[in-house]
Structure 1
Amino acid sequence: MPVLPGAEPYRHEGGEVGVLLCHGFTGSPQSLRPWAEYLAERGLTVSLPLLPGHGTRWQDMQITGWQDWYAEVDRALRELLARCEQVFVFGLSMGGALTLRLAAKHGDSVRGIVVVNPANKVHGLAAHALPVARHLVRTTPGLAGDIAKEGAVEVGYDRVPLRAAHSLRNFLRLVDAELPQVTQPMVLLHSPRDHVVPPADSARILGRVSSTDVREILLEQSYHVATLDHDAERIFQESYEFVSRFAPRIGTKGSTGGG
């Protein structure tokens, strides 16, 4: 199935410091592409994979689950670890949950993490109905496009496959149980006016991780997809400064790559 325009994975070969970026549920690398390019321009090696079932059509997502999505970012992380001296992991929404699990599982191999509006739970009555509803209803309206900035568009699905949503629910429960295993330095940025993931998710994550070097930043001007919103530049700058704290000699600029 052809990949939607703009949803292609992105890779940049830079210096000895690498960053893995993880996109969100029903989204695509497009939501993180400006962030990836910002980091690439500053000499980092950057990997932004396309999660299985994403970036094509929602029917393709119907036959995937969290094990597929996690396996892809785990593979991409292992590639970076083989290539780079230091590796950081960043994520948006469900990508934040993927980031947290990578940190829990890979320990000191991950030097630090940055999460933006990270998901911790599927909320509302729908969450309780998913185990049954997924057998009766195929989809619900999509989540993509929660952006305050006029004219900004997210490439994502307009439908949410309930089978995949049920898998996400199970994954977030798993990650929540593993949060005490997260010990890395962390920056957590979240939007008070997020219409997809409530602030309670960020509060719970901050309260359960074992990290001692933690910074919380509020994104007052943005909604859920903050990486395409008014606070995007701040996210990019804060994340680069975070990496620079631990890797002061990030390296020279490499050649740009994509696709």
Structure 2
Amino acid sequence: MPLLPGAEPFQHRGGPIGVLLVHGFTGSPQSLRPWADRLVEAGYTVSLPLLPGHGTRWQDMQTTRWEDWYAEADRALRELTASCEQVFVCALSMGGSLALHLAAQHGSAVSGLVLVNPSVRSDNPASVLLPVLRHVVPSLPGVANDIALEGSTEVGYDRTPLHAAWSLTRLWQTVQAELPEIRQPVLLLHSPQDHVVSPANSELVLARISSTDVTELLCERSYHVATLDHDAELIFGASLDFIRRLTPATAEL
């Protein structure tokens, strides 16, 4: 199945500091590509993988589970850690859950996390019906393209595959149990007006992680896909400052 235009994975070999970017549920690397480009300009080694089942058609997600998405993120992280002195993980939405799981599993191999509107819990009471509903209804309307900026578009699915959505709830359960294990520095940016992921998600992360170096910033003018929205420059600039602060020996690349 051919990829949607813009959904291609991206890699760039730069300096000794690596950055892994992880996209969201039913989304694609396109939502993070401008961020990746800014990191490349700053001299970093960058990896932006396409998660299994994404970037083609929503039906392709029906046979994938969160373990498949995590395995690809894990592979990309291991590739970076093998060739870089330090590695940071930046993520959007469901990618935030995968990033937190990576941090819990890999410990000090992850030097810091930048999370944008992380998704770590259900905001829909009807999600309790997913174990049964997924066998009756294949999909529901999608969640892509929640962007305030006129003319900005996300490459993602217009349907939400329910088998995959059910698996996402299992990922949330895993990550919630691991949050106290997170001790890495964290930069968390979230949008007060997010029609996909409620502020309760970011509140949960901030309340439960054990990190002592935590910065919270608001994306006041953006919706869920803030990386393609009005506050994209805030995200890019803050993440660069965050990484440079934690890599003093290589701040000037």
What's the TM-score once normalised by structure 2's chain length?
0.98
Q: Which has the higher contact order (CA 8 A, sep 6+)?
A: 1
- Contact (CA 8 Å) 2:245, 2:251: kept in 1 or not? no
Report the 3-state secondary structure (helix = DSSP H, G, I; strand = E; otherwise coil) of the residue aligned with 1:146.
Answer: coil
2:16 is aligned with 1:16:
yes
Alignment of structure 1 residues 47-62 onto 2, 5 Å: 47-62=47-62
Q: Identify unmatched segments of 5+ residues in structure 2.
A: none
2:154 is aligned with 1:154:
yes
Cα shift readout 1:208-229 (whole Å, capped 9, x = no counterpart): 0000000010110000000000
Task: Give the letter aligned to residue 234 of structure 1.
Answer: L
Alignment of structure 1 residues 1-259 onto 2, 5 Å: 1-248=1-248, 249-250=250-251, 252=253
- Contact (CA 8 Å) 1:186, 1:211: kept in 2 or not? yes
**Quick one: distance in 1 between partners of 2:89 and 2:139?**
31
Task: Give the letter aligned to residue 34 of structure 2.
Answer: P
Report the 3-state secondary structure (helix = DSSP H, G, I; strand = E; otherwise coil) of the residue aligned with 2:187.
Answer: strand
- Contact (CA 8 Å) 1:93, 1:118: kept in 2 or not? yes
**Quick one: distance in 1 between partners of 2:220 and 2:181?**
30
- Contact (CA 8 Å) 1:93, 1:119: kept in 2 or not? yes
**Quick one: distance in 1 between partners of 2:65 and 2:167?**
5
Report the 3-state secondary structure (helix = DSSP H, G, I; strand = E; otherwise coil) of the residue aligned with 2:113.
Answer: strand
Task: Give the letter aligned to residue 13 of structure 1.
Answer: R
- Contact (CA 8 Å) 1:21, 1:91: kept in 2 or not? yes
Deviation at 1:124, TM superposition (A): 1.6
**Quick one: distance in 2 between partners of 1:225 and 1:236?**
13
**Quick one: distance in 2 between partners of 1:159 and 1:221?**
26
- Contact (CA 8 Å) 2:22, 2:96: kept in 1 or not? yes
**Quick one: distance in 1 between partners of 2:27 and 2:146?**
11
Cα shift readout 1:135-160 (whole Å, capped 9, x = no counterpart): 10000000000000000000000000
Q: Which runs of 4+ in 1 moved over 2 A?
A: none
**Quick one: distance in 1 between partners of 2:107 and 2:125?**
35
| Percentage identity across paired residues of the two chains | 65
Q: Identify unmatched segments of 5+ residues in structure 1.
A: 253-259
- Contact (CA 8 Å) 1:14, 1:44: kept in 2 or not? yes
**Quick one: distance in 2 between partners of 1:46 and 1:145?**
24
**Quick one: distance in 2 between partners of 1:17 and 1:208?**
28
Aligned residue in 2 for 1:256: none
Q: Report the count of equivalent residues.
A: 252
**Quick one: distance in 1 between partners of 2:20 and 2:86?**
11
Deviation at 1:112, TM superposition (A): 0.5
Report the 3-state secondary structure (helix = DSSP H, G, I; strand = E; otherwise coil) of the residue aligned with 2:87.
Answer: strand
- Contact (CA 8 Å) 1:26, 1:160: kept in 2 or not? yes
- Contact (CA 8 Å) 1:147, 1:226: kept in 2 or not? yes
- Contact (CA 8 Å) 1:20, 1:47: kept in 2 or not? yes
**Quick one: distance in 2 between partners of 1:111 and 1:125?**
35
Task: Give the letter aligned to residue 205 of structure 1.
Answer: V
Aligned residues: CA RMSD: 0.8
Report the 3-state secondary structure (helix = DSSP H, G, I; strand = E; otherwise coil) of the residue aligned with 1:135.
Answer: coil
**Quick one: distance in 2 between partners of 1:215 and 1:125?**
30
Task: Give the letter aligned to residue 44 of structure 1.
Answer: Y
Task: Give the letter aligned to residue 230 of structure 1.
Answer: H
Deviation at 1:251, TM superposition (A): 5.9
